[in-house]
Structure 1
Protein backbone atom coordinates (compact mmCIF):
# COMPACT_ATOMS: atom_id res chain seq x y z
CA UNK A 1 0.00 0.00 0.00
CA UNK A 2 2.85 2.40 0.83
CA UNK A 3 4.47 1.68 -2.54
CA UNK A 4 1.25 2.52 -4.33
CA UNK A 5 0.86 5.82 -2.42
CA UNK A 6 4.49 6.71 -3.11
CA UNK A 7 3.99 6.00 -6.81
CA UNK A 8 0.82 8.11 -6.90
CA UNK A 9 2.62 10.99 -5.18
CA UNK A 10 5.61 10.70 -7.52
CA UNK A 11 3.32 10.58 -10.58
CA UNK A 12 1.37 13.59 -9.31
CA UNK A 13 4.59 15.58 -8.84
CA UNK A 14 5.80 14.49 -12.28
CA UNK A 15 2.52 15.62 -13.88
CA UNK A 16 2.70 18.98 -12.12
CA UNK A 17 6.30 19.42 -13.27
CA UNK A 18 5.31 18.60 -16.86
CA UNK A 19 2.28 20.87 -16.63
CA UNK A 20 4.37 23.75 -15.27
CA UNK A 21 6.90 23.30 -18.07
CA UNK A 22 4.12 23.33 -20.67
CA UNK A 23 2.44 26.43 -19.26
CA UNK A 24 5.73 28.30 -18.82
CA UNK A 25 6.66 27.63 -22.42
CA UNK A 26 3.31 28.29 -24.07
CA UNK A 27 1.07 30.15 -21.67
CA UNK A 28 -2.33 28.78 -20.79
CA UNK A 29 -5.19 31.02 -21.91
CA UNK A 30 -5.46 29.27 -25.27
CA UNK A 31 -5.20 25.73 -23.90
CA UNK A 32 -8.20 23.54 -23.11
CA UNK A 33 -8.19 20.61 -20.70
CA UNK A 34 -8.25 18.34 -23.76
CA UNK A 35 -5.12 20.08 -25.12
CA UNK A 36 -3.37 19.77 -21.77
CA UNK A 37 -4.30 16.11 -21.32
CA UNK A 38 -3.10 15.31 -24.82
CA UNK A 39 0.19 17.14 -24.34
CA UNK A 40 0.82 15.48 -20.95
CA UNK A 41 -0.20 12.09 -22.36
CA UNK A 42 -2.79 11.51 -19.69
CA UNK A 43 -6.56 11.49 -19.45
CA UNK A 44 -8.77 14.40 -18.47
CA UNK A 45 -9.87 12.33 -15.47
CA UNK A 46 -6.22 12.24 -14.37
CA UNK A 47 -6.11 16.02 -14.62
CA UNK A 48 -9.24 16.18 -12.48
CA UNK A 49 -7.35 14.35 -9.74
CA UNK A 50 -5.00 17.35 -9.69
CA UNK A 51 -7.72 20.02 -9.74
CA UNK A 52 -11.45 20.38 -10.38
CA UNK A 53 -11.25 22.74 -13.36
CA UNK A 54 -8.82 24.28 -15.82
CA UNK A 55 -8.74 27.44 -13.72
CA UNK A 56 -7.93 25.49 -10.56
CA UNK A 57 -5.35 23.46 -12.47
CA UNK A 58 -3.61 26.62 -13.68
CA UNK A 59 -3.67 28.12 -10.18
CA UNK A 60 -2.28 24.90 -8.68
CA UNK A 61 0.42 24.74 -11.36
CA UNK A 62 1.37 28.34 -10.60
CA UNK A 63 1.68 27.48 -6.91
CA UNK A 64 3.78 24.44 -7.85
CA UNK A 65 6.05 26.58 -10.02
CA UNK A 66 6.66 29.13 -7.29
CA UNK A 67 7.24 26.42 -4.67
CA UNK A 68 9.84 24.80 -6.93
CA UNK A 69 11.39 28.20 -7.74
CA UNK A 70 11.58 29.16 -4.06
CA UNK A 71 13.33 25.89 -3.21
CA UNK A 72 15.87 26.50 -5.98
CA UNK A 73 16.45 30.13 -4.97
CA UNK A 74 16.93 29.26 -1.30
CA UNK A 75 19.29 26.41 -2.20
CA UNK A 76 21.36 28.88 -4.23
CA UNK A 77 21.69 31.25 -1.26
CA UNK A 78 22.01 28.64 1.49
CA UNK A 79 25.78 28.29 1.39
CA UNK A 80 26.53 32.00 1.13
CA UNK A 81 27.36 33.73 4.41
CA UNK A 82 28.68 37.10 3.24
CA UNK A 83 25.75 39.59 3.28
CA UNK A 84 27.26 41.50 0.33
CA UNK A 85 26.97 38.35 -1.75
CA UNK A 86 23.65 37.06 -0.41
CA UNK A 87 21.37 39.78 -1.82
CA UNK A 88 22.84 39.68 -5.35
CA UNK A 89 22.78 35.88 -5.25
CA UNK A 90 19.20 35.86 -4.06
CA UNK A 91 17.89 38.35 -6.62
CA UNK A 92 19.92 36.80 -9.43
CA UNK A 93 18.50 33.38 -8.51
CA UNK A 94 14.97 34.85 -8.52
CA UNK A 95 15.63 36.26 -11.98
CA UNK A 96 16.96 32.94 -13.20
CA UNK A 97 13.94 31.09 -11.79
CA UNK A 98 11.59 33.46 -13.60
CA UNK A 99 13.59 33.53 -16.82
CA UNK A 100 12.04 30.23 -17.91
CA UNK A 101 8.62 31.88 -18.15
CA UNK A 102 7.69 32.86 -21.71
CA UNK A 103 6.19 36.24 -22.49
CA UNK A 104 2.93 34.49 -23.29
CA UNK A 105 2.87 32.83 -19.86
CA UNK A 106 3.53 36.16 -18.15
CA UNK A 107 0.77 37.83 -20.18
CA UNK A 108 -1.67 35.04 -19.31
CA UNK A 109 -0.59 35.14 -15.65
CA UNK A 110 -1.24 38.88 -15.44
CA UNK A 111 -4.68 38.47 -17.01
CA UNK A 112 -5.77 35.58 -14.76
CA UNK A 113 -6.48 36.83 -11.23
CA UNK A 114 -5.76 33.61 -9.27
CA UNK A 115 -2.33 33.16 -10.87
CA UNK A 116 -1.52 36.86 -10.62
CA UNK A 117 -2.38 36.70 -6.90
CA UNK A 118 0.02 33.76 -6.46
CA UNK A 119 2.76 35.77 -8.18
CA UNK A 120 2.02 38.84 -6.06
CA UNK A 121 2.03 36.77 -2.85
CA UNK A 122 5.40 35.31 -3.83
CA UNK A 123 6.71 38.80 -4.59
CA UNK A 124 5.71 39.88 -1.08
CA UNK A 125 7.47 36.82 0.34
CA UNK A 126 10.58 37.65 -1.70
CA UNK A 127 10.47 41.25 -0.45
CA UNK A 128 10.33 39.97 3.14
CA UNK A 129 13.29 37.74 2.37
CA UNK A 130 15.24 40.69 0.96
CA UNK A 131 14.38 42.61 4.12
CA UNK A 132 15.75 39.75 6.25
CA UNK A 133 18.94 39.71 4.20
CA UNK A 134 19.31 43.48 4.62
CA UNK A 135 18.62 43.25 8.35
CA UNK A 136 21.29 40.53 8.65
CA UNK A 137 23.79 42.71 6.77
CA UNK A 138 23.04 45.75 8.95
CA UNK A 139 23.39 43.65 12.12
CA UNK A 140 26.76 42.31 10.97
CA UNK A 141 28.01 45.80 10.06
CA UNK A 142 28.39 44.95 6.36
CA UNK A 143 25.59 47.34 5.42
CA UNK A 144 25.05 50.87 6.60
CA UNK A 145 22.03 51.52 8.75
CA UNK A 146 19.16 51.69 6.30
CA UNK A 147 15.45 51.33 6.61
CA UNK A 148 15.25 47.68 5.58
CA UNK A 149 11.48 47.86 5.06
CA UNK A 150 11.94 50.72 2.58
CA UNK A 151 14.76 48.96 0.73
CA UNK A 152 12.68 45.78 0.55
CA UNK A 153 9.71 47.79 -0.72
CA UNK A 154 11.89 49.29 -3.46
CA UNK A 155 12.92 45.75 -4.41
CA UNK A 156 9.31 44.52 -4.34
CA UNK A 157 8.13 47.44 -6.48
CA UNK A 158 10.77 46.69 -9.09
CA UNK A 159 9.99 42.97 -8.94
CA UNK A 160 6.36 43.73 -9.77
CA UNK A 161 7.40 46.06 -12.63
CA UNK A 162 9.70 43.34 -13.93
CA UNK A 163 6.87 40.78 -13.74
CA UNK A 164 4.41 43.09 -15.48
CA UNK A 165 6.84 43.81 -18.31
CA UNK A 166 7.27 47.49 -17.45
CA UNK A 167 11.02 47.26 -17.02
CA UNK A 168 11.46 45.42 -20.30
CA UNK A 169 9.29 47.97 -22.12
CA UNK A 170 11.17 50.91 -20.60
CA UNK A 171 14.72 49.55 -20.77
CA UNK A 172 14.83 46.53 -23.08
CA UNK A 173 16.27 44.41 -20.25
CA UNK A 174 14.97 40.87 -20.00
CA UNK A 175 13.81 39.72 -16.57
CA UNK A 176 17.07 38.01 -15.59
CA UNK A 177 19.14 41.09 -16.53
CA UNK A 178 16.70 43.35 -14.69
CA UNK A 179 17.09 41.27 -11.53
CA UNK A 180 20.88 41.46 -11.82
CA UNK A 181 20.69 45.25 -12.17
CA UNK A 182 18.30 45.49 -9.22
CA UNK A 183 20.69 43.42 -7.12
CA UNK A 184 23.67 45.59 -8.09
CA UNK A 185 21.89 48.87 -7.39
CA UNK A 186 20.35 47.68 -4.13
CA UNK A 187 23.59 46.22 -2.81
CA UNK A 188 25.64 49.29 -3.78
CA UNK A 189 23.10 51.52 -2.07
CA UNK A 190 23.22 49.76 1.29
CA UNK A 191 26.87 48.77 1.62
CA UNK A 192 28.74 50.45 4.45
Structure 2
Protein backbone atom coordinates (compact mmCIF):
# COMPACT_ATOMS: atom_id res chain seq x y z
CA UNK A 1 0.00 0.00 0.00
CA UNK A 2 1.34 3.48 -0.75
CA UNK A 3 2.16 5.57 2.28
CA UNK A 4 0.24 8.54 0.88
CA UNK A 5 -3.18 8.50 -0.74
CA UNK A 6 -3.19 8.63 -4.52
CA UNK A 7 -4.12 11.97 -6.00
CA UNK A 8 -7.46 11.87 -7.73
CA UNK A 9 -7.58 13.05 -11.32
CA UNK A 10 -8.95 16.50 -11.83
CA UNK A 11 -12.42 16.49 -13.28
CA UNK A 12 -12.73 18.34 -16.58
CA UNK A 13 -14.12 21.85 -16.37
CA UNK A 14 -17.43 22.68 -18.04
CA UNK A 15 -15.54 24.18 -20.99
CA UNK A 16 -13.36 21.08 -21.29
CA UNK A 17 -16.46 18.85 -21.23
CA UNK A 18 -17.97 20.91 -24.05
CA UNK A 19 -14.73 20.64 -26.05
CA UNK A 20 -14.59 16.88 -25.50
CA UNK A 21 -18.14 16.60 -26.80
CA UNK A 22 -17.34 18.74 -29.85
CA UNK A 23 -14.17 16.76 -30.54
CA UNK A 24 -16.10 13.52 -30.19
CA UNK A 25 -18.67 14.61 -32.77
CA UNK A 26 -15.94 15.83 -35.13
CA UNK A 27 -13.88 12.64 -34.78
CA UNK A 28 -16.92 10.38 -35.16
CA UNK A 29 -17.82 12.18 -38.39
CA UNK A 30 -14.36 12.65 -39.91
CA UNK A 31 -11.86 10.52 -38.01
CA UNK A 32 -8.82 11.97 -36.26
CA UNK A 33 -5.59 10.87 -37.94
CA UNK A 34 -5.52 13.60 -40.58
CA UNK A 35 -6.12 16.48 -38.19
CA UNK A 36 -3.33 18.59 -36.72
CA UNK A 37 -3.79 20.48 -33.47
CA UNK A 38 -3.92 23.67 -35.55
CA UNK A 39 -6.76 22.16 -37.63
CA UNK A 40 -8.65 21.17 -34.50
CA UNK A 41 -8.20 24.57 -32.87
CA UNK A 42 -9.51 26.26 -36.02
CA UNK A 43 -12.49 23.90 -36.32
CA UNK A 44 -13.43 24.32 -32.66
CA UNK A 45 -12.73 28.07 -32.59
CA UNK A 46 -10.32 27.76 -29.69
CA UNK A 47 -6.60 28.08 -29.11
CA UNK A 48 -4.11 25.23 -29.18
CA UNK A 49 -3.37 26.02 -25.54
CA UNK A 50 -7.02 25.26 -24.77
CA UNK A 51 -6.62 21.87 -26.42
CA UNK A 52 -3.45 21.32 -24.40
CA UNK A 53 -5.56 21.59 -21.25
CA UNK A 54 -7.21 18.34 -22.38
CA UNK A 55 -4.05 16.48 -23.43
CA UNK A 56 -0.39 17.20 -24.07
CA UNK A 57 -0.32 15.91 -27.67
CA UNK A 58 -2.62 15.19 -30.59
CA UNK A 59 -2.16 11.45 -30.01
CA UNK A 60 -3.12 11.72 -26.34
CA UNK A 61 -6.05 13.90 -27.32
CA UNK A 62 -7.24 11.24 -29.77
CA UNK A 63 -7.04 8.56 -27.07
CA UNK A 64 -8.90 10.78 -24.61
CA UNK A 65 -11.69 11.49 -27.09
CA UNK A 66 -11.99 7.84 -28.15
CA UNK A 67 -12.18 6.83 -24.48
CA UNK A 68 -14.77 9.57 -23.89
CA UNK A 69 -16.89 8.17 -26.72
CA UNK A 70 -16.75 4.58 -25.50
CA UNK A 71 -17.32 5.54 -21.86
CA UNK A 72 -20.36 7.63 -22.78
CA UNK A 73 -21.66 4.87 -25.05
CA UNK A 74 -21.32 2.29 -22.28
CA UNK A 75 -23.17 4.53 -19.84
CA UNK A 76 -26.01 5.16 -22.31
CA UNK A 77 -26.30 1.43 -23.08
CA UNK A 78 -26.41 0.55 -19.38
CA UNK A 79 -29.17 3.14 -18.91
CA UNK A 80 -31.17 1.37 -21.64
CA UNK A 81 -31.15 -1.93 -19.79
CA UNK A 82 -31.47 -0.56 -16.27
CA UNK A 83 -34.42 -2.22 -14.55
CA UNK A 84 -35.10 -4.71 -17.37
CA UNK A 85 -35.42 -8.20 -15.90
CA UNK A 86 -36.02 -10.44 -18.92
CA UNK A 87 -32.66 -11.64 -20.30
CA UNK A 88 -34.04 -11.79 -23.85
CA UNK A 89 -35.04 -8.16 -23.70
CA UNK A 90 -31.77 -7.20 -22.02
CA UNK A 91 -29.71 -8.82 -24.79
CA UNK A 92 -31.86 -7.24 -27.49
CA UNK A 93 -31.63 -3.78 -25.90
CA UNK A 94 -27.94 -4.11 -25.07
CA UNK A 95 -26.85 -5.15 -28.56
CA UNK A 96 -29.22 -2.63 -30.20
CA UNK A 97 -27.60 0.01 -27.99
CA UNK A 98 -24.13 -0.99 -29.17
CA UNK A 99 -25.32 -0.92 -32.78
CA UNK A 100 -26.89 2.52 -32.31
CA UNK A 101 -23.75 3.93 -30.73
CA UNK A 102 -21.52 2.55 -33.48
CA UNK A 103 -23.83 3.92 -36.17
CA UNK A 104 -22.67 7.36 -35.01
CA UNK A 105 -19.11 6.45 -36.04
CA UNK A 106 -18.00 6.99 -39.63
CA UNK A 107 -15.91 4.43 -41.47
CA UNK A 108 -13.03 6.90 -41.26
CA UNK A 109 -13.28 7.01 -37.46
CA UNK A 110 -13.39 3.22 -37.20
CA UNK A 111 -10.40 2.92 -39.57
CA UNK A 112 -8.47 5.49 -37.53
CA UNK A 113 -9.24 3.61 -34.31
CA UNK A 114 -8.09 0.35 -35.89
CA UNK A 115 -4.87 1.94 -37.19
CA UNK A 116 -3.85 3.69 -33.94
CA UNK A 117 -2.89 1.16 -31.28
CA UNK A 118 -3.79 3.18 -28.14
CA UNK A 119 -7.26 3.89 -29.55
CA UNK A 120 -7.60 0.29 -30.72
CA UNK A 121 -6.78 -0.90 -27.19
CA UNK A 122 -9.58 1.31 -25.84
CA UNK A 123 -12.05 -0.27 -28.28
CA UNK A 124 -10.71 -3.72 -27.41
CA UNK A 125 -11.20 -3.18 -23.67
CA UNK A 126 -14.75 -1.99 -24.25
CA UNK A 127 -15.44 -4.99 -26.49
CA UNK A 128 -14.12 -7.35 -23.82
CA UNK A 129 -16.39 -5.71 -21.26
CA UNK A 130 -19.35 -6.05 -23.67
CA UNK A 131 -18.55 -9.73 -24.24
CA UNK A 132 -18.49 -10.26 -20.47
CA UNK A 133 -21.87 -8.55 -20.11
CA UNK A 134 -23.34 -10.74 -22.88
CA UNK A 135 -22.03 -13.87 -21.13
CA UNK A 136 -23.71 -12.74 -17.91
CA UNK A 137 -27.01 -12.07 -19.71
CA UNK A 138 -26.93 -15.55 -21.26
CA UNK A 139 -26.20 -17.14 -17.87
CA UNK A 140 -29.10 -15.22 -16.32
CA UNK A 141 -31.41 -16.27 -19.15
CA UNK A 142 -30.51 -19.92 -18.63
CA UNK A 143 -30.98 -19.59 -14.85
CA UNK A 144 -34.36 -17.91 -15.40
CA UNK A 145 -35.45 -20.61 -17.85
CA UNK A 146 -35.92 -18.26 -20.81
CA UNK A 147 -32.88 -19.65 -22.67
CA UNK A 148 -32.07 -23.25 -23.43
CA UNK A 149 -29.15 -24.63 -21.45
CA UNK A 150 -27.91 -26.60 -24.46
CA UNK A 151 -24.33 -25.41 -24.86
CA UNK A 152 -25.14 -22.01 -23.28
CA UNK A 153 -21.56 -21.64 -22.05
CA UNK A 154 -20.24 -22.44 -25.51
CA UNK A 155 -22.67 -20.00 -27.12
CA UNK A 156 -21.57 -17.31 -24.64
CA UNK A 157 -17.93 -17.94 -25.57
CA UNK A 158 -18.77 -17.88 -29.27
CA UNK A 159 -20.55 -14.55 -28.75
CA UNK A 160 -17.38 -13.28 -27.09
CA UNK A 161 -15.33 -14.40 -30.09
CA UNK A 162 -17.77 -12.69 -32.45
CA UNK A 163 -17.51 -9.48 -30.45
CA UNK A 164 -13.72 -9.75 -30.70
CA UNK A 165 -13.99 -10.37 -34.45
CA UNK A 166 -16.17 -7.31 -34.83
CA UNK A 167 -13.79 -5.17 -32.76
CA UNK A 168 -10.66 -6.29 -34.58
CA UNK A 169 -12.22 -5.58 -37.97
CA UNK A 170 -12.13 -9.23 -39.10
CA UNK A 171 -15.93 -9.38 -39.51
CA UNK A 172 -15.96 -6.08 -41.42
CA UNK A 173 -13.11 -7.20 -43.71
CA UNK A 174 -14.63 -10.60 -44.48
CA UNK A 175 -18.25 -9.54 -44.87
CA UNK A 176 -18.25 -5.83 -45.68
CA UNK A 177 -20.74 -5.36 -42.84
CA UNK A 178 -20.34 -2.39 -40.48
CA UNK A 179 -19.69 -3.00 -36.79
CA UNK A 180 -23.14 -1.62 -36.00
CA UNK A 181 -24.85 -4.07 -38.39
CA UNK A 182 -22.71 -6.93 -37.07
CA UNK A 183 -23.96 -6.28 -33.51
CA UNK A 184 -27.54 -6.25 -34.79
CA UNK A 185 -26.95 -9.62 -36.47
CA UNK A 186 -25.35 -10.96 -33.28
CA UNK A 187 -28.51 -10.09 -31.36
CA UNK A 188 -30.66 -11.95 -33.90
CA UNK A 189 -28.33 -14.95 -33.81
CA UNK A 190 -28.23 -15.17 -30.03
CA UNK A 191 -31.93 -14.64 -29.45
CA UNK A 192 -32.88 -17.12 -32.15
CA UNK A 193 -30.36 -19.74 -31.05
CA UNK A 194 -31.07 -19.58 -27.35
CA UNK A 195 -34.86 -19.39 -27.50
CA UNK A 196 -36.72 -22.01 -25.51
CA UNK A 197 -39.02 -24.14 -27.67
- TM-score normalised over the length of structure 2: 0.86
> CA offsets, 1:72-123, max 9 Å, x none?
1111111422111111111111011111111111111111000000000000
CA contact (8 A) 1:138 1:146 kept: no
Question: Of 29, 36, 40, which aligns to 2:40?
Answer: 36
1:34 to 1:152, Cα distance in 2 relative to 1, 3 A = farther
What is the distance in 1 between the residues matched to 2:22 and 2:157? Answer: 34
What is the distance in 1 between the residues matched to 2:66 and 2:82? Answer: 24
RMSD after superposition: 2.0
Question: Of 47, 51, 66, which aligns to 2:51?
Answer: 47
What is the distance in 2 between the residues matched to 1:10 and 1:25? Answer: 23
3-state SS of 2:33 partner: coil
The aligned residue for residue 18 of structure 1 is 22
Question: Of 141, 144, 162, which aligns to 2:166?
Answer: 162
What is the distance in 1 between the residues matched to 2:151 and 2:55? Answer: 42
> 1:136 deviation in Å?
1.2
CA contact (8 A) 1:106 1:164 kept: no
CA contact (8 A) 2:41 2:51 kept: yes
> 1:163 deviation in Å?
3.6
1:103 and 2:126 correspond: no
1:60 to 1:146, Cα distance in 2 relative to 1, 3 A = farther
> CA offsets, 1:2-50, max 9 Å, x none?
xxx99x6221111111111111111111100111111111111111110
1:47 to 1:148, Cα distance in 2 relative to 1, 3 A = farther
The aligned residue for residue 151 of structure 1 is 155
Structure 2: gaps of 5 or more residues? 1-9
Question: Of 63, 82, 86, which aligns to 1:82?
Answer: 86
1:94 to 1:59, Cα distance in 2 relative to 1, 3 A = same
The aligned residue for residue 96 of structure 2 is 92
What is the distance in 1 between the residues matched to 2:153 and 2:17? Answer: 36
Structure 1: gaps of 5 or more residues? none
CA contact (8 A) 2:100 2:180 kept: yes
> CA offsets, 1:121-171, max 9 Å, x none?
000000011111111111111112255554333223223333444434444
What is the distance in 2 between the residues matched to 1:151 and 1:123? Answer: 17
Number of residue pairs aligned between Structure 1 and Structure 2: 187
